[in-house]
Structure 1
Amino acid sequence: MIKISKLLLITLSSIALVFSAGCGKNEKNRQAEGKLNVVTSFYPLYFLAKEIGGDNAFVVNLIAAGVEPHEWTPKSSDLTAVSKARVFLYNGAGLEGWVDDFLHGLGSDSQVMTIEASQGIELIHGNEEDGEGVQHSDSGVDPHTWVSPRSAIVMAANVVEAFVSADPVNKANYEARYAELNERLIQLDAKYAQELAVYEKRDIVVSHQAFGYLCRDYGLNQIAIMGLSPEAEPRAQDLLEISRFVKEHEIPYIFFEELVSEQLARTLADEANVDTLVLNPLEGLTPEQEQAGEDYFSLSERNLENLHKALR
């Protein structure tokens, strides 16, 4: 009897796992009747859409927890999911290199409202070097707008405008939730500006060049090991220059991020005899962060704490 019970339990558990896996696979293609159906390209937009949409919107994110957005490409199922939505939110500024072909695949008769959330933000372009000859930006446009709370304020305004346009019946609800979110973002922006202004040191060394907007808005200077894409390999000469910069300027920490391998940052930190810290580019949550209820605000607060440590 005990053996039969164990066998039954194992069988039921296996069925449950298969069923839950199947549900996860089809989650992107779900829709909610009577709600504004929204698809977002990656986590920051998903967060803004959920905060503003509330009970009036059903929001699906294309990129799963723990996946680095730079490495992700859409599948046909993603195109299907977006084609069924009323609103599709993507960052733009070159983050989603696949987006032009993707939107073309929707067809000329598509009713989906497509919104480039970075519209209105002054974008960072081109190569910039400081007096030390250390490169701060590789060619092209820096897409990492959302990392700065000041940019997130603009992006949230673009989201609420899209929601009101797509679903004017619930305008008051969207605008009320947006007002609350906007106030929190304004407070976060003010906290960053006030608390980071006190430091004489302004340099931070990061693994991935994802903090251009954060540094521009709060008067910091990023020295990046890798370029705008976390897959960009640095030259040996670049590593030597950064190592020299770290030693000469007594940089106490080298920042790495959780969704990208930290090996290069740790190697450089060991060579320069300094420690490492996390500076999160807020591109997505790890499964553990998702389970713990972390969000854009909690991760931004932790970033600020770690910036305090690095600039003291």
Structure 2
Amino acid sequence: MPWLKNVLFVLVGMAVLGSMLGACGPASSSASSGIKVVAAENFYGDIVKQLGGAHVSVTSILSDPNVDPHEFESNFNNAKAVGNARLIVANGGGYDNWIDKLLSSAPKAERSVIKGSDLALPQKLPDNEHIWYDVDNMDVIAEKVTEQLITLDPAHTSDFSTNLQTFKQSLQAIHQKMDEIKARYAGTPIGLTETIYLYQAQPMGLKIMTPFAFEKAMAEGNDPPADSVVTTDNQVKQKQIKVLIYNVQTTSNVTTKLQDDAKAQHLPVVAVSETMPTTKTYQTWMLDQLNALEAALAK
């Protein structure tokens, strides 16, 4: 895996890191510095900030929506942040295995780790680790994060509980938009370049035409089966789909050609990403993509 290229670099630096951590002592959970939290992905980091407010200090590792997250390589700064953190929030499910290497290379007794995929989530699709695209999943993860924040900083229980309710309420706008799209466009044929959007396309009742073998291969960074490429290409060229939903972070020559063919056929292409744009919150990110999809379906 890509992060293995960095393992020696990280391990060599651990002696230095250990002395640094020893000098710093335990991370403070006071309001001035906040509970130190590391989020493997920035959308989890954003949610922790919403839940923790001024009582948390969050570092998000994966934060560039222009980079393929499957090619991420950890570094010494990541190890340092993990070593100082009292709470780690990651996706799990095979999506961010590099976090396990960082945890083992920077051991710390007083540290909590939350992996979303390890929780009893309402929706876990087979061979699909993109659990954050399901809003109900994020509701459960937010509850677990809040529980840990209260454990680490019980003095601010009231703040954390209030923030959780505010977060839960804010998710209703996403549910409402998905319900509106379902009511108007359920059964509409669409194409996907990757499995990520299954978590929203299926609940909205959209008819997914792309062979799952194609989506799965692209999500895993593999070459899709030849017959699935032919089928997917024909669906675009013959306008068997109304919209192509395109993962802008997991691309290849195959998906780029598919996008070009869709544009040539004047088929709307809706861009989605795995990493949250840095100028948005989780909620605005999801809503903006849903609004773009709704506009494309209306054409």
TM-score between both structures, scaled by the size of structure 1: 0.74
Flag structure 2 segments of 5+ consecutive residues without an equivalent. 1-20
In the aligned structure 2, how far is the partner of 1:89 from the partner of 1:47? 11
1:235 aligns with 2:237: no
Secondary structure of 2:193's aligned partner: strand
Identify which of 279, 283, 294 aligns with 2:271.
Answer: 279
Structure 2 match to 1:298: 284
The answer as to whether partners of 2:177 and 2:287 remain within 8 angstroms in 1 is no
State how far apart, in whole Å, the 2-side matches of 1:188 and 1:49 are.
Answer: 19
CA distance in 2, matches of 1:275, 1:46: 35
Single out whichever of 67-76 and 37-46 deviates more from structure 2: 67-76
Which stretch shifts more, 178-187 or 260-269? 260-269
Does 1:143 pair with 2:133?
Answer: no
Q: CA 1:269/1:82 → structure 2, altered by over 3 Å: closer, same or farther?
A: closer
Alpha-carbon distance in structure 1 between the residues aligned to 2:106 and 2:203: 36
**For residues 98-145 of structure 1, what are the alpha-carbon distances to aligned partners after superposition, in whole Å with 9 as ceiling and x for unaligned?**
2333333333x52111111241213211xxxxxxxxxxxxxxx31101
Name the TM-score, length of structure 2 as normaliser: 0.77
Instruction: Return the index of the structure with the highest Cα Rg.
Output: 1
Q: Secondary structure at the match of 1:142?
A: coil
Kindly, what percent of the aligned residue pairs are identical?
A: 20
Secondary structure (helix, strand or coil) at the match of 1:182 reads helix
Q: Which amino acid aligns with 2:224?
A: P
Partners of 2:179 and 2:193 in 1: how far apart?
23
2:200 corresponds in structure 1 to 214
Aligned CA RMSD, in angstroms, stands at 2.7
Residues 33 and 169 of structure 1: is their aligned pair in 2 closer, same or farther, counting only changes over 3 Å? closer
Partner of 2:71: 71
TM-fit CA distance, 1:151:
2.2
TM-aligned CA deviation for residue 198 of structure 1? 2.1
The correspondence of residues 152-191 of structure 1 with structure 2, limited to 5 A, is: 152-191=138-177
Q: Whole-Å Cα distance in 2 between the matches of residues 39 and 210 of structure 1?
A: 23
1:192 partner letter:
M
Other-structure match for 2:125: 124
Which of 204, 212, 218 aligns to 2:190? It is 204
Q: CA deviation at 1:32?
A: 6.7
Residue of structure 2 in register with 1:49 after alignment: 48
Per the TM alignment, residue 280 of structure 1 is displaced from its structure 2 partner at its CA by 1.6
Question: Do the aligned partners of 1:148 and 1:217 also contact (CA within 8 Å) in 2?
Answer: no
Of the three residues 228, 238, 245, the one matched with 2:235 is: 245
Structure 1 residues 95, 258: closer, same or farther in 2, change over 3 A?
Answer: same
Asked if the contact 1:211/1:281 (under 8 Å) is kept, the reply is no
Deviation at 1:196, TM superposition (A): 2.2
The whole-number CA distance in structure 1 between the counterparts of 2:159 and 2:74 is 32
Secondary structure of residue in 2 paired with 1:308: helix
* Distance in 2 separating the partners of 1:169 and 1:104: 30
1:249 deviates by 6.0
Deviations along 1:189-218, whole A, 9 cap, x unmatched? 232123323214343212222112223333
Aligned residues: 262
Q: Tell me the CA shift for residue 220 of structure 1.
A: 3.0
Code of the residue aligned with 2:275 in structure 1: it is E
